[in-house]
Amino acid sequence: MDAATNSETPQDTLYEEIKSFFDSAPPLKDGPGISKKLNEFIERNSQSTGGEGTGRVVCVTSGGTTVPLEKRCVRYIDNFSSGHRGAASTEYFLKAGYSVIFLYRRGSCQPFCRSLPEDPLLECFEVSKELNIQVHQSHSEAVKRAIGEHCGAVEGGLLLKLPFTTIFEYLQILQLIAMSMRNLQTRAMFYLAAAASDFYVPWKSMVEHKIQSASGPLDMQLVQVPKTLSVLRNDWAPMAFFISFKLETDSNILLQKADMALKKYKMHVVVANELSTRKEKVVVVTSSEKISVLRDSTEADADIENPLIKLLVEKHSSYVEDSNS
Amino acid sequence: MDAATNSETPQDTLYEEIKSFFDSAPPLKDGPGISKKLNEFIERNSQSTGGEGTGRVVCVTSGGTTVPLEKRCVRYIDNFSSGHRGAASTEYFLKAGYSVIFLYRRGSCQPFCRSLPEDPLLECFEVSKELNIQVHQSHSEAVKRAIGEHCGAVEGGLLLKLPFTTIFEYLQILQLIAMSMRNLQTRAMFYLAAAASDFYVPWKSMVEHKIQSASGPLDMQLVQVPKTLSVLRNDWAPMAFFISFKLETDSNILLQKADMALKKYKMHVVVANELSTRKEKVVVVTSSEKISVLRDSTEADADIENPLIKLLVEKHSSYVEDSNS
pLDDT at residue B214, as a whole number? 60
Specify which residues B162 forms β-bridges with. Answer: B103
Window 12-51 of A, Cβ < 8 Å to B: none
Measure the CA–CA gap between A283 and B107, rounded to whole angstroms. Answer: 32
pLDDT at residue B25, as a whole number? 86
Between chains, do A213 and B223 touch, taking CB under 8 Å as contact?
Answer: no
Specify which residues B207 forms β-bridges with. Answer: B70
pLDDT class for B243, splitting at 50, 70, 90?
very high
pLDDT tens for residues B306-320? 999 999 999 999 999
pLDDT class for A6, splitting at 50, 70, 90?
very low
Between chains, do A218 and B217 touch, taking CB under 8 Å as contact?
Answer: no
- Poorest-confidence range of A6-10, A86-90, A292-296, B137-141? A6-10
Domains within chain A, CATH numbers bracketed: 12-239 (3.40.50.10300)
Measure the CA–CA gap between A320 and B45, rounded to whole angstroms. Answer: 67
Nearest chain B CA: its distance from A106 CA (Å)? 9
Mean per-residue pLDDT, A126-131: 82
Between chains, do B219 and A218 touch, taking CB under 8 Å as contact?
Answer: no
pLDDT class for B2, splitting at 50, 70, 90?
very low
Measure the CA–CA gap between B290 and B270, rounded to whole angstroms. Answer: 10
Measure the CA–CA gap between B316 and B92, rounded to whole angstroms. Answer: 14
Between chains, do A151 and B120 touch, taking CB under 8 Å as contact?
Answer: no
Nearest chain A CA: its distance from B321 CA (Å)? 36
The yes-or-no verdict on residue A316 having pLDDT over 60 is yes
A245 sits in which H/E element: strand A241-248
What is the residue-wise DSSP string for A270-303?
EEEEEGGGTTTEEEEE-SS-EEEEE--TTSTT--
Measure the CA–CA gap between B25 and B201, rounded to whole angstroms. Answer: 11
Mean per-residue pLDDT, B10-34: 89
Contacts of B226 in chain A (CB under 8 A): none
Kindly report the average pLDDT of chain A as a whole number.
89
pLDDT at residue A72, as a whole number? 67
Give the angle subtended at the CA of A265 by the CAs of A261 and A267, to the nearest 5°.
Answer: 80
Q: Which of B163, B178, B210 is nearest to B66 (CA)?
A: B163
Between these two residues, B5 and A317, which has the higher pLDDT value?
Answer: A317
pLDDT at residue B5, as a whole number? 41
ipTM: 0.82
Measure the CA–CA gap between A87 and A105, rounded to whole angstroms. Answer: 11
pLDDT class for B237, splitting at 50, 70, 90?
very high
- Indicate the pairing of strand B57-62 with strand B66-68: unpaired
Burial grade of A24 (CB within 10 A; 0-12, 13-18, 19 or more): middle
Contacts of B210 in chain A (CB under 8 A): 247-250, 275
Q: Which of B45, B61, B54 is nearest to B197 (CA)?
A: B61
Nearest chain A CA: its distance from B324 CA (Å)? 38
Measure the CA–CA gap between A42 and A33, rounded to whole angstroms. Answer: 14
Note whether A199 contacts B: Cβ–Cβ < 8 A: yes
A264 sits in which H/E element: helix A251-264
**CB A245 within 8 Å of CB A229:** no
Q: Which of B60, B64, B321 is nearest to B191 (CA)?
A: B60
Note whether B80 contacts A: Cβ–Cβ < 8 A: yes
SS3 track for chain B? CCCCCCCCCCHHHHHHHHHHHHHHCCCCCCHHHHHHHHHHHHHHHCCCCCCCCCCCEEEEEECECEEECECCCCEEEEECCCCHHHHHHHHHHHHCCCEEEEEEECCCCCCCCCCCCCCHHHHHEEECCCCCEEECHHHHHHHHHHHHHHHHHHHCCCEEEEEECEHHHHHHHHHHHHHHHHHHHHHEEEEECCECCCEECCHHHCECCCCCCCCCCEEEEEEECCCHHHHHHHHHCCCCEEEEEEEECCHHHHHHHHHHHHHHCCCCEEEEEEHHHCCCEEEEECCCCEEEEECCCCCCCCCCHHHHHHHHHHHHHHHHHHHHC
- Nearest beta carbon to residue B250 from set A126, A144, A209: A209
Measure the CA–CA gap between A308 and A242, rounded to whole angstroms. Answer: 15
Nearest chain A CA: its distance from B219 CA (Å)? 5
Between chains, do B78 and A75 touch, taking CB under 8 Å as contact?
Answer: yes
Burial of A46-75, coded b for 16+ CB within 10 Å and e otherwise, reads bebeeeebebbbbbbbbbbbbbbbbbbbbb
C-alpha A219: how far from its chain's center? 31
Burial grade of B316 (CB within 10 A; 0-12, 13-18, 19 or more): buried
pLDDT at residue A308, as a whole number? 98
Mean per-residue pLDDT, A166-187: 96
Mean per-residue pLDDT, B158-168: 96
Between chains, do A76 and B78 touch, taking CB under 8 Å as contact?
Answer: yes
Dihedrals φ, ψ of A91, to 5°? Answer: -60, -45
Specify which residues A243 forms β-bridges with. Answer: A191, A269
Instruction: Give the whole-number percent of chain A exceeding pLDDT 90.
Output: 62
SS3 A18: helix
The yes-or-no verdict on residue A62 having pLDDT over 50 is yes
Between chains, do A222 and B222 touch, taking CB under 8 Å as contact?
Answer: no
Contacts of A87 in chain B (CB under 8 A): none
Mean per-residue pLDDT, B261-283: 94
pLDDT tens for residues A190-213? 999 999 998 887 766 666 666 666
- Nearest beta carbon to residue A219 from set B76, B219, B248: B219
- Indicate the pairing of strand B133-135 with strand B125-127: antiparallel
pLDDT at residue B179, as a whole number? 95
pTM of the model: 0.88
Scanning A138-225, the segments in alpha helix (DSSP H) are 140-145, 151-155, 167-181
pLDDT class for A265, splitting at 50, 70, 90?
very high
Q: Which of B124, B57, B127 is nearest to A152 (CA)?
A: B127
Between chains, do B75 and A78 touch, taking CB under 8 Å as contact?
Answer: yes
Burial of B170-187, coded b for 16+ CB within 10 Å and e otherwise, reads bbbbbbbbbebbeebebb
Nearest chain A CA: its distance from B155 CA (Å)? 11
Mean per-residue pLDDT, A15-40: 92
pLDDT tens for residues B52-63? 457 999 999 999
Give the angle subtended at the CA of A222 by the CAs of A219 and A223, to the nearest 5°.
Answer: 150
Contacts of B209 in chain A (CB under 8 A): 248-250
Mean per-residue pLDDT, B113-123: 89
A132 → chain B, closest CA residue: B144
SS3 A19: helix
Contacts of B222 in chain A (CB under 8 A): 217-220
- How many Cβ atoms sit within 10 Å of the Cβ of residue B123? 14
pLDDT class for B215, splitting at 50, 70, 90?
low
A320 sits in which H/E element: helix A305-324
Instruction: Give the whole-number percent of chain B exceeding pLDDT 90.
Output: 62
- Nearest beta carbon to residue B248 from set A120, A195, A210: A210
SS3 A69: coil
Note whether A203 contacts B: Cβ–Cβ < 8 A: no
The yes-or-no verdict on residue A262 having pLDDT over 50 is yes
- Indicate the pairing of strand A159-164 with strand B159-164: unpaired
Measure the CA–CA gap between A64 and A50, rounded to whole angstroms. Answer: 33
Between chains, do B126 and A151 touch, taking CB under 8 Å as contact?
Answer: yes
Note whether B311 contacts A: Cβ–Cβ < 8 A: no
Between these two residues, A23 and B295, which has the higher pLDDT value?
Answer: B295
pLDDT at residue A202, as a whole number? 73
Mean per-residue pLDDT, A124-136: 85
Note whether B195 contacts A: Cβ–Cβ < 8 A: yes
pLDDT class for B85, splitting at 50, 70, 90?
very high
pLDDT class for B211, splitting at 50, 70, 90?
low
A188 sits in which H/E element: strand A188-192
Contacts of B150 in chain A (CB under 8 A): 122
How many angstroms separate the first and last alpha carbons of chain A?
14
- Nearest beta carbon to residue A135 from set B133, B143, B211: B133
- Poorest-confidence range of A136-140, A160-164, B33-37, B169-173? A136-140
Specify which residues B61 forms β-bridges with. Answer: B103, B192
A131 → chain B, closest CA residue: B144
Nearest chain B CA: its distance from A278 CA (Å)? 13
pLDDT tens for residues A268-296? 999 999 988 999 999 999 999 999 999 99
Max avg pLDDT among A39-43, A276-280, B136-140: A39-43
A252 sits in which H/E element: helix A251-264
Q: Which of A233, A225, A153, A163 is nearest to A196 (CA)?
A: A225
Q: Which of A97, A108, A112 is nearest to A148 (CA)?
A: A112
**CB B230 within 8 Å of CB B251:** no
Measure the CA–CA gap between B160 and B191, rounded to whole angstroms. Answer: 15
pLDDT class for B36, splitting at 50, 70, 90?
very high
What is the residue-wise DSSP string for A99-154?
EEEEEEETTS--TT-TTS-SSHHHHHEEE-TTS-EEE-GGGHHHHHHIIIIIHHHH
pLDDT at residue A2, as a whole number? 37
